[in-house]
Amino acid sequence: MTPFDEQYRQAIADIMDHGFDIPNPWSGRDTKMLPGVTLRVDVGESFPLLTLRKIPLKLFVAEQVWYLMGENRPDWMRTYTKIWDDFLESDGTIRAAYGYRWRHHFGRDQIAGLVDHLTQNPHSRHAVVVTWDPADDGLAVDTKMNLPCPYSFTVNIAGGRLHLHNIVRSNDMILGCPHDAAGFALLQCLLAERLSVLPGVYTHSISNAHIYDNHYDAAREIMRRTHEHPPVKFTAPSGAFHRATQGDGALVDEIFQQLKSQYQPLAPIENLKITVNVY
């Protein structure tokens, strides 16, 4: 199995076998949960695409482009999915839109600042992007449509490669984790392209890794599966970072086709329902 498949399947087994039974009052569902779960893959060797079941490739590709655009309205994303419409506030914006938080919310462009900082100081340990707003997030939670789940990431350059450590507050392991890992590994590749280095290690650290009760059968199915899939290799197209910030739809198609040409997953698991208002 690929390194990501192997670690992911083990994490699912650990949660199902040893997880705490925790109710989720906002969704009305029960979960099994483990704290402090980490997945770690060398993106240069094997891009973290889950192959134990089929996942929608174009969705996470488009989402990362939308993030880098810095938008807090889902108009551009509706070409690919309407999932973000579930999180609209009354004014038509998404309060915790990741890209907007990265590029506008705190009064500065954290992504542009990160690129400039690492261009001037490639060995810096200060390249941190924060999504969580302590002035608002986590307070009066019942009044919010959503809160950031991946809430901070750190970028380091070492050995001529760019490494990204993503800190995730809360991760739905069946639907959210594979999507987030692939998406942020893609972000890592886009940043590496902009900084003229190779992508390195992607680390996905989850504070609350959980499986919803309506996904328990899917989890058991994943635990039974094995798949001898060759490593997926990804190379960001030239100028990909800049094109992403401009919302270049052709870039989405290029990345999708590069990944699709190598992607031979096992069958999808049917009837997986997204749980909204989960916090």
Give tens-digit pLDDT for 11-68. 999 999 999 999 988 778 999 999 999 999 999 999 999 999 999 999 999 999 999 9
Active site residue 189: no
| Alpha carbon distance 263, 276 (integer Å) | 28
Domains of the chain as residue ranges with CATH: 3-18+27-260 (3.30.572.10)
pLDDT band at 276 (very low <50, low <70, confident <90, very high): low
Of the residues 61, 149, 186, 255, only one is catalytic, namely 149
Exposed/middle/buried for 42, CB within 10 Å: 0-12, 13-18, 19+?
middle
| pTM, entire model | 0.96
pLDDT band at 176 (very low <50, low <70, confident <90, very high): very high
How high does pLDDT run on average in the chain? 95
pLDDT band at 139 (very low <50, low <70, confident <90, very high): confident
| Alpha carbon distance 84, 106 (integer Å) | 22
Share of the chain above pLDDT 70, in %: 98
